[in-house]
Chain A
Amino acid sequence: MATRDLDEKLLRLAVHASPSGILIVDAGGEIVFANEALLGMFDYELDELLGQPIEILVPPVDVEIHRRHREKFGARPVPRAMGRRESFGAVRKNGEEFSLEIGLRPTEVEGERMVVATIIDITERRRIEERLRRYDEHLEELIEQRTQELRETQAQKEQVVERLIQSEKLAAVGTLVSGIGHEINNPLYMILGTAEALQDATNLDECRRFGTEIIEHSRKISSTVTNLSRYARPGNIHDTQAVDLNDVVEAAIESVHQTQRSDEVDIVWTRQPVAEVLGRPDELQQALFNVIRNAVQACGKHGVIRIGLEEHYDSIDVLVRDNGPGIPEEHRSKVFDPFFSTKGPDDGEGLGLYIVRQIVSRHGGDIKVTSGEGTTFTLRFPASAKTDRGETS
């Protein structure tokens, strides 16, 4: 007997020392036992709970449904482990509701069915879970926000590059217009002079000759204006087409001749049978114009610039070589940086090669520079899927 008393004492001590709430309910749903942890959890004294229906611990709104569940459980009592339900509402003596996790173990004591409930207050856990969930949501929001910012930054960068290219093009057109005055005003002057002579002409042959001259000079002006408008036409990066780089190089050389003092420089160039590339002719022309203009400025008098096209397996290279003094090694990595220039303030603001790189990049290509005795710029573009020979690569 002494051992049994000791066992009971120890058992009672263990039950009351348990951090989990322990509750025993009889078959009618009345509370017959509650340990200290449970009393603390619900803020009741033991005598306030003993003999009370279990629903005293259930929020009023859940009382009926709990009663039905209890009756159903009583009809088919099977053990239910802790944590099978995510949350279970409970109510303290002061009416404060909280969440708990409950395990149920049906048993029989002296022939009477009872249920032992093990209960954990998960309010703190729920609070932490909620904080984690909010933190997780906040992180997702931050990631989404950052992603959006990056997208916007990229879009803004694209817009800046687009505006830069447009403004460079307009500046080039301004220079072109100034240079092209010679190309238009000279034939215009000859038309005017010939027309004046026509007024004084005395025979039909003279009239015909003057008429022919006027037509020739008019055609020259028309051709110049057509080339100019083709160069100045604004467009969309998505308006790509199959482009023969031979045409682009020729147009760029023509623009350089019209805008730069290139008479003292020999530009050596012959057309090459290469595949077409997919791109914007006006932008490609501007890129080539900038590179050739740089070469002309680098060469000075008696310079020689050699331009070539090379076809590789799936790409076309445009090579622009000059025999100028070359680019010092410490400058080579910077030549494509915006606002980097070794020229005087009157020779540009250092955006020319930066714009070239942007244009080449927009066309899925790459540009590199090698320099020693003279400088070579290599612009590599992916070949168009459909080649100029009508094959599919």
Chain B
Amino acid sequence: MKRQVLILDDEPGVRRVIRQQLSGTQFDVLEAESAEQAMDLLRDYALFIDVVICDVRMPGISGVEAVSYIREAHPTKPIIVLTGHPDLDLAVDFMKSGVVDYIVKPVEKDQLVAAVEKAAAKHQTFDPHDD
């Protein structure tokens, strides 16, 4: 059975590229263009979503706030931050808050797939009923 990755990014082009890079792998993709939409999908499909890929700069609720909300509601859900900001301080803050990876765009397909697989493996070690 394929595993699910939730992409939270306001730019359709970015979501399309992530979907394309994960195509042909063991991962299927769900897309959300806002934090609100992501939270709705997580609420409805929490058990099926293995990894969340989250952007930082977004209108409305930012990536920083979105990660905070997701961590609070789904503390064991692995989150990968995928951002255009090469900001070390921001990366440290995110890692401290519990995200499993902080990747700066552009990222090649192999690197992204490896990061998602690594994150998904962490999820496997969690109790699937903790959500």
Q: Which residues of A contact B (CB under 8 A)?
A: 178-179, 181-186, 188-194, 196-197, 217, 261, 263
Using known A-B contacts A190-B13, A196-B108, determine if residue A182 contacts B20 with beta carbons closer than 8 Å. Answer: no
| Stretch in contact with the other chain, from B35-43, B54-62, B69-77, B114-122 | B54-62
Using known A-B contacts A197-B20, A263-B59, determine if residue A190 contacts B14 with beta carbons closer than 8 Å. Answer: yes
Within 8 A of A (CB), among B1-54: 11, 13-14, 16-18, 20-21
Instruction: For B16, list chain A residues within 8 Å (CB).
Output: 193
The answer to whether A193 and B85 have CB atoms under 8 Å apart is: no
The answer to whether B59 and A182 have CB atoms under 8 Å apart is: no
Using known A-B contacts A185-B106, A261-B62, A263-B60, determine if residue A193 contacts B84 with beta carbons closer than 8 Å. Answer: no
The answer to whether B11 and A186 have CB atoms under 8 Å apart is: yes
Instruction: For A183, list chain B residues within 8 Å (CB).
Output: 84
Within 8 A of A (CB), among B55-95: 56-57, 59-60, 62, 83-87
Distance A188 CA – B57 CA, assembled complex (angstroms): 16
Chain A's nearest CB lies how many Å from the CB of B24? Answer: 9
Using known A-B contacts A190-B13, A193-B20, A197-B20, determine if residue A185 contacts B109 with beta carbons closer than 8 Å. Answer: no
Chain A's nearest CB lies how many Å from the CB of B31? Answer: 15
The answer to whether A186 and B105 have CB atoms under 8 Å apart is: yes
The answer to whether A189 and B107 have CB atoms under 8 Å apart is: yes
The answer to whether A196 and B20 have CB atoms under 8 Å apart is: yes
Distance A188 CA – B82 CA, assembled complex (angstroms): 13
The answer to whether A189 and B105 have CB atoms under 8 Å apart is: yes
Complex: chain B residue closest to A179, CB-CB: B85
The answer to whether A190 and B17 have CB atoms under 8 Å apart is: yes
Chain B's nearest CB lies how many Å from the CB of A218? Answer: 13
Using known A-B contacts A186-B11, A261-B62, determine if residue A181 contacts B85 with beta carbons closer than 8 Å. Answer: yes
The answer to whether B62 and A191 have CB atoms under 8 Å apart is: no
Chain B's nearest CB lies how many Å from the CB of A124? Answer: 80
Chain A's nearest CB lies how many Å from the CB of B27? Answer: 15
The contact sample of 23 A-B pairs, CB cut-off 8 A, is: A178-B87, A179-B85, A181-B85, A181-B86, A181-B87, A182-B57, A182-B83, A184-B84, A185-B83, A185-B85, A185-B106, A186-B84, A189-B17, A189-B107, A190-B13, A190-B14, A192-B17, A192-B107, A193-B106, A196-B20, A196-B108, A196-B109, A217-B13
Distance A185 CA – B85 CA, assembled complex (angstroms): 8
Chain B's nearest CB lies how many Å from the CB of A305? Answer: 17
Q: DSSP class of A's interface residues: helix, strand, loop or mixed?
A: helix
Distance A344 CA – B62 CA, assembled complex (angstroms): 22
Distance A263 CA – B65 CA, assembled complex (angstroms): 14
Which one of A191, A193, A261 contacts B21 once the chains associate, using CB atoms below 8 Å?
A193
Instruction: For B57, list chain A residues within 8 Å (CB).
Output: 182
Chain A's nearest CB lies how many Å from the CB of B42? Answer: 23
Using known A-B contacts A181-B85, A182-B57, determine if residue A189 contacts B14 with beta carbons closer than 8 Å. Answer: yes
Chain A's nearest CB lies how many Å from the CB of B8? Answer: 14
Distance A191 CA – B16 CA, assembled complex (angstroms): 12
Chain B's nearest CB lies how many Å from the CB of A179? Answer: 8
Using known A-B contacts A193-B20, A196-B21, A197-B20, determine if residue A188 contacts B106 with beta carbons closer than 8 Å. Answer: yes
Instruction: For A193, list chain B residues within 8 Å (CB).
Output: 16-18, 20-21, 106, 109
Chain A's nearest CB lies how many Å from the CB of B99? Answer: 18
Most buried by A among B84, B104, B107: B84
Instruction: For A261, list chain B residues within 8 Å (CB).
Output: 62
Complex: chain B residue closest to A213, CB-CB: B13
The answer to whether B87 and A189 have CB atoms under 8 Å apart is: no
Instruction: For B83, list chain A residues within 8 Å (CB).
Output: 181-182, 185
Distance A160 CA – B105 CA, assembled complex (angstroms): 39
Distance A191 CA – B105 CA, assembled complex (angstroms): 11
Chain A's nearest CB lies how many Å from the CB of B88? Answer: 10
* Extra 12 A-B pairs, beta carbons < 8 Å, given A189-B107, A190-B13, A193-B106: A181-B83, A181-B84, A182-B57, A182-B84, A182-B85, A185-B83, A186-B14, A191-B106, A192-B106, A192-B107, A193-B16, A196-B109
Complex: chain B residue closest to A182, CB-CB: B84
Distance A191 CA – B17 CA, assembled complex (angstroms): 9
Chain A's nearest CB lies how many Å from the CB of B65? Answer: 11
Distance A378 CA – B19 CA, assembled complex (angstroms): 49
Which one of A189, A194, A196, A197 contacts B84 once the chains associate, using CB atoms below 8 Å?
A189
Query: Nearest 8 A-B pairs (CB), nearest first?
Result: A193-B17, A185-B84, A189-B105, A189-B106, A182-B84, A185-B105, A192-B106, A188-B106
Chain A's nearest CB lies how many Å from the CB of B108? Answer: 7
Instruction: For B13, list chain A residues within 8 Å (CB).
Output: 186, 190, 217
Instruction: For A181, list chain B residues within 8 Å (CB).
Output: 83-87, 104
Distance A257 CA – B84 CA, assembled complex (angstroms): 15
